[in-house]
Amino acid sequence: MGQTECYKILSSHLVSGELRQGESISIRIDQTLTQDATGTMAYLEFEALGLDRVRNELAVSYVDHNTVQVGFENADDHEYLRTVADRKGVIYSRAGNGICHQVHLERFARPGKTLLGSDSHTPTAGGIASFAAGAGGLDVALAMAGVPFSIIAPRVVEIRLHGHLRPFVTAKDVILCVLERFGVKGNVNTVFEYTGEGVNTLSVPERATIANMGAECGVTTSLFPSDGNTKAFLEAQGRGDEYIPLYPDEDAVYDDLFEIDLSSLEPLAACPHSPGNIAKVSDLAGMRINQVLIGSCTNSSYMDLKKAAAILKGHTVAPTVSLGVAPGSREVLMMITEDGTLETLIKAGARILESACGFCIGNHQSPGTDSVSLRTSNRNFYARSGTASASLYLVSPETAAASAITGVFTDPRTVDADLSSITMPRHFLIDDSGFILPTFSAEIFRGPNIGEPPRNTPMPDSIKGHAVIKVGDKITTDHIMPAGARLKYRSNIPHYASFVFESVDPSFPERAAAYRDKGESGFIIAGASYGQGSSREHAAICPMYLGIRAVVAVSIERIHQANLCNFGILPLLFRKEEDYQCIDQGDELELLDPAASLESGEFTLRDHTKGIDIPLDLFASEEQKRMLSAGGRLNEVRI
Ligand code: MIC
Ligand code: SF4
């Protein structure tokens, strides 16, 4: 039986376990990446492992999230990251060099390699046929220490592309179509593999846009083949010698098939407040808009900006609209400067933003009250922009540019511009001076904002307390741990913990801490797809700090489930989904005989308030059971 591309890479990296779908396996990680918002904690955790230097093939530390620098915290964190990278053998990509996923694709990602990143959009590198997954900081710290990464051998879904995109229909519309089909929940332990002759019509940056937003479906990663287009991209990046061909076998067997006729697609948009809430741009046409933002790791490549500029050329942004453009990397910024694209954007009235995450994470550019914001980024979760009343729509750069001119939602197919000559360049402008190579000599700097990596206590004999909060379906890590204005406290857990569930229930931290201080264990009760979205391990660490011992949910997303185990919080699932209805916030709860239940994986939750027993299943591997018993991975791991 032929192999999929996914299983080819997994089998060449298999360290333990049987490579059969659903089995727990561990794989060797070649490359790692971190970004600053998750990176400080990841390197504190790496330091706690006591190693002199990283042991994997390539480790890169990017500074791209917290670059606004209001107050001393961000700058101090950057200095910690620069010095710890130098000392431990990590390449440091300084602020201004660009967004981690865009830069990694340009300069480091390689076909056939494995990449683990402390950011959920690490699968962007799947566009260049790298098996690239997002994980919590601790898992990445361990990968840097050479510890294999554990995953469930995934089911592989074939997404077969036919035909070619028509003018003004883009890679963004392809992934929005995939999101319409697969949604944002229920795709755990799945990999999307793109095949079919339509794949040949997509350049690596376009493939990267598609692989990037597979993260929104919750898949482990997405993969494109390594073919002539991959070779052309690597050559244009001066890395032609890194090319290897990589395809699935002709008779590869997949678990599911979804076929897309690229020629039949039209411009799409993800509507508030979920990337899976898809509509046709033509159906939204005419809606007044207030803000347009082009950038983020999804759509900030050289071609993206050139196409947006070609539409904007000769026009001025509507007076009622603010247009911001953030080039994805210094390479992109230098190229649009050199070829005049930047001038076109400036003349049209665009505000040029730093090559960083910025608006995407709500770090700046929060829209006005009740306003409508069109963005080329990948997440439009409630309140992520910093303005809870705003409505965010996710669109292609073409739709964004066309709408910026008219001031209303506009189908780009109605504009008068010719984009047909905008294709991938034969040579990108290469300048690696934004990277600092390690010298193994720096004194590690620690600002006052940087604490110790927090640890949990071993699992107690009795787990008794209250349902501190009950939340519904699709609670994202942005709901649990806000970013934006709170992002600068990532290295200061006691302070950051005072914002847990800020947009859902701001009284949560005080309530949880009061129960904790009485010696109780806290419970979070949740619906389906709890913890979707980012890889931020703070969504586990901060609740842990507030005394949470168990999350009881209908379902939990992959990266968040791993983060919970890493920090000693029990991920428990209702055996009967309807039991979710039985528990109310404030109920007095107890997990009966936790030690034996951990062993068997079957728990009983006694709701003393309601006088009922509820059966639960532990969602954890054997390895994770050991972590949970020890009160988290840092208490248990031996390097
Ligand atoms: C995001 O897009 O949500 C982030 C910010 O990049 C996160 C990482 C973080 O919270 O620091 C992610 O995607 O993992
Ligand atoms: Fe940065 Fe946004 Fe991409 Fe996250 S999704 S890495 S915040 S650009």
| CA angle 496–632–511, rounded 5-degree value | 40
Give the C-alpha separation, 299 to 376, whole Å. Answer: 6
Provide the pLDDT for residue 187: 94
Residue whose C-alpha is closest to residue 170's, from 401, 342, 326: 401
Provide the pLDDT for residue 1: 81
- Ligand 1 touching residue 483 (CB < 6 A): yes
Provide the pLDDT for residue 107: 98
Give the C-alpha separation, 25 to 10, whole Å. Answer: 9
Domain with CATH 3.30.499.10 in the chain: 5-157+198-206+213-249, 268-422
Residue whose C-alpha is closest to residue 135's, from 475, 473, 631, 633: 633
Q: Is the pLDDT of residue 600 over 90?
A: yes
- Ligand 1 touching residue 541 (CB < 6 A): no
Give the C-alpha separation, 363 to 375, whole Å. Answer: 14
Write down the pTM of the prediction. 0.97
Residue 186: which pLDDT band, with cuts at 50, 70 and 90?
confident
Provide the pLDDT for residue 142: 98
Which atom in ligand 2 lies closest to the alpha carbon of residue 100?
6
**Nearest ligand for residue 297 CA:** 2
- Ligand 2 touching residue 119 (CB < 6 A): yes
Residue 11: which pLDDT band, with cuts at 50, 70 and 90?
very high
Q: Is the pLDDT of residue 56 over 90?
A: yes
394: CA distance to ligand 2 center in Å? Answer: 13
Tracing tokens 């990337």 back to the chain, one arrives at 275
61: CA distance to ligand 1 center in Å? Answer: 15
pLDDT tens digits for range 88-121: 999 999 999 999 999 999 999 999 999 999 999 9
209: CA distance to ligand 1 center in Å? Answer: 16
Domain with CATH 3.20.19.10 in the chain: 463-630
**What are the backbone angles phi and psi of residue 134, rounded to the nearest 5°?**
-90, 150
120: CA distance to ligand 1 center in Å? Answer: 6
Superfamily of domain 463-630: Aconitase, domain 4 (3.20.19.10)
Provide the pLDDT for residue 267: 99
297: CA distance to ligand 2 center in Å? Answer: 6
Mean per-residue pLDDT for 243-262? 98
Give the C-alpha separation, 380 to 293, whole Å. Answer: 12
128: CA distance to ligand 1 center in Å? Answer: 21
Q: What is the mean pLDDT of the chain?
A: 97
Residue whose C-alpha is closest to residue 168's, from 373, 308, 325: 308
**What are the backbone angles phi and psi of residue 566, rounded to the nearest 5°?**
-60, -30
Residue 231: which pLDDT band, with cuts at 50, 70 and 90?
very high
Best substitution site from 104, 118, 361 to test ligand 1's pocket, by max atoms within 8 Å of Cβ?
361
Q: Is the pLDDT of residue 451 over 90?
A: no
Range 5-157+198-206+213-249 has CATH code 3.30.499.10? yes
Other CB atoms within a 10 A radius of the CB of residue 340 amount to 10
The order of strands in the sheet holding 190-195 is 221-223, 190-195, 155-162, 256-261
* Contact present, 331 and 361 (Cβ < 8 Å): no
Written out in words, the top-level CATH class of the domain with range 268-422 is alpha beta
Ordered alpha helix ranges (H), 319-435: 330-338, 341-348, 397-406
- Ligand 2 touching residue 63 (CB < 6 A): no
Other CB atoms within a 10 A radius of the CB of residue 472 amount to 13
Best substitution site from 296, 478, 535, 541 to test ligand 1's pocket, by max atoms within 8 Å of Cβ?
535
Q: Indicate which residue's Cα is closest to atom 5 of ligand 1.
A: 361
Residue 154: which pLDDT band, with cuts at 50, 70 and 90?
very high
Residue 453: which pLDDT band, with cuts at 50, 70 and 90?
confident
Provide the pLDDT for residue 354: 98
Both tokens of 331, joined, read: 């390479």
- Ligand 2 touching residue 296 (CB < 6 A): yes
Provide the pLDDT for residue 408: 98
Give the C-alpha separation, 51 to 637, whole Å. Answer: 13
216: CA distance to ligand 1 center in Å? Answer: 12
Residue whose C-alpha is closest to residue 127's, from 209, 30, 7, 9: 209
270: CA distance to ligand 2 center in Å? Answer: 17
Residue 262: which pLDDT band, with cuts at 50, 70 and 90?
very high
Give the C-alpha separation, 207 to 497, whole Å. Answer: 37
Other CB atoms within a 10 A radius of the CB of residue 351 amount to 14
- Ligand 1 touching residue 140 (CB < 6 A): no
- Ligand 1 touching residue 66 (CB < 6 A): no
* Contact present, 164 and 198 (Cβ < 8 Å): yes
* Alpha carbons within 13 A on the beta-carbon side of 588: 4
β-partners of residue 112 are none
Burial 282-319 (b: 16+ CB within 10 A, else e): bebbeeebbbbbbbbbbbbbbbbbbbbbbbbeebebbe
pLDDT tens digits for range 277-330: 999 999 999 999 999 999 999 999 999 999 999 999 999 999 999 999 999 999
Mean per-residue pLDDT for 610-629? 97
Residue whose C-alpha is closest to residue 541's, from 636, 630, 634: 634
Q: Is the pLDDT of residue 78 over 90?
A: yes
**Nearest ligand for residue 534 CA:** 1
214: CA distance to ligand 2 center in Å? Answer: 14
Q: Is the pLDDT of residue 414 over 90?
A: yes
575: CA distance to ligand 2 center in Å? Answer: 35
Mean per-residue pLDDT for 588-595? 98
Residue 638: which pLDDT band, with cuts at 50, 70 and 90?
confident
* Contact present, 125 and 226 (Cβ < 8 Å): no
Q: Is 227 exposed, middle or buried (0-12, 13-18, 19+ CB in 10 A)?
A: middle
Residues 6+ apart with CB under 8 A from 308: 294, 325, 345, 397, 398, 400, 401
Which atom in ligand 2 lies closest to the alpha carbon of residue 119?
6
pLDDT tens digits for range 504-514: 999 999 999 99
Provide the pLDDT for residue 449: 87
**Nearest ligand for residue 537 CA:** 1
Provide the pLDDT for residue 38: 97
Quick check: helix, strand or coil at residue 394?
A: strand
Provide the pLDDT for residue 537: 97
Residues 6+ apart with CB under 8 A from 519: none
Provide the pLDDT for residue 101: 98
* Alpha carbons within 13 A on the beta-carbon side of 438: 21
Q: What is the largest CA-CA distance in the chain?
A: 71
